[in-house]
Amino acid sequence: MTMLAYTQGTTKDQVLARVRRHREADRLIHGVYWENGRGCAVGCTVSGRRRAGEGWYDAVARQIGIPAHLAALEDAIFEGLPNGDAQAWPERFLGAIPEGADLSRVWPQFAIWLLTEETPSASGEAVAALYRRRLAGDEPTDAEWSRAARAARAAREASAAREASAAWAAGEAGEASEASAASAASAAWAAWAAREAWAARAARAAREARAAGAAREAWEAWAAGEASAAGEASAAWEAWEAWAAGEASAAWAAWAAREASAASAASAAWAARAAREASFTRQADKLVELCRAANG
């Protein structure tokens, strides 16, 4: 049975009014699903209400008809946006979805864009090709998803090896302090790219895991719960990680070649943060575009 937005007994106007009240009362915050009457985008959408044993994203699906994986994506974007944009994000996302819309094509469309335009890589293109087939009605087999995952994993491991080699060379050159600072900048970049920006399906990540890598935890929990989609989950995640590892390696090489002081490391960290927030802004814009175009 196809899930349709805002057809579960709660209207779009009611949901928007609820989220608006939370924002105006300063109850919309980063870092927690719901705690002491305050919460994130998803927590405020359901006002902390869920059944025993029910995941937060599953609660969104049950209460308002928005698929759990899109609720997870909304949440990951909320956590990545700068605070001003983040405050407006839940209402913007929910407001973009037409009442009665079938949102089943939104995730494959978003994944194709993410893997081929926002974070392009050869392994990402291979995974995107599988999503294109799904949209055309030709569902890939589990074996095909698994092959794409293995290729993406190999690309990620190769990038990691290049980064390790660069770190060793920096140390041999007597630049231990600079290498340490560069590693921190590279790690920050990789943590953003590999953990925060990749949104996934419904999960019940612990608060600490969510702060460190919510998107990955969500994706893996969904994959574990839906064996038939495990190959797809692995392929998409590995493709993303391969891109992230490549970006981290490139960031390291650029830093090692051009930067030699703590001040420049701070500048690199600032640039990484700005790039991170800009990417989340583009992701937000794309998701709104796709939701608006969904059939109502």
Q: Which helix (H) or strand (E) holds 35?
A: strand 34-35
For residue 194, pLDDT beyond 90: no
For residue 260, pLDDT beyond 70: no
Taking the C-alpha atoms of residue 263 and residue 261, their distance in angstroms, rounded to an integer, is 5
* Torsion sign, CA atoms 93, 97, 99, 101: negative
Mean model confidence pLDDT for the chain? 77
Helix, strand, coil percentages in the chain from 3-state DSSP, rounded to 5: 75, 0, 25
Residue in 211, 277, 212, 215 with CA at minimum distance from that of residue 240: 215
Q: Provide the pLDDT for residue 58.
A: 96
**If pLDDT is split at 50, 70 and 90, which confidence band does 193 have?**
very low
DSSP 38-83: EE-HHHHHTTT---TT--HHHHHHHHH---HHHHHHHHHHHHHS-H
Taking the C-alpha atoms of residue 146 and residue 141, their distance in angstroms, rounded to an integer, is 9
Q: Provide the pLDDT for residue 278.
A: 93
For residue 270, pLDDT beyond 90: no
pLDDT digits (tens, 9 = 90+) for 122-140: 889 999 999 999 999 999 9
Length of the chain: 296
- DSSP, collapsed to helix, strand or coil, labels residue 23 as helix
- Range in 14-23, 67-76, 254-263 with the lowest mean pLDDT: 254-263
What is the end-to-end Cα distance of the chain in Å, rounded? 16
For residue 12, pLDDT beyond 50: yes
pTM score, two decimals? 0.69
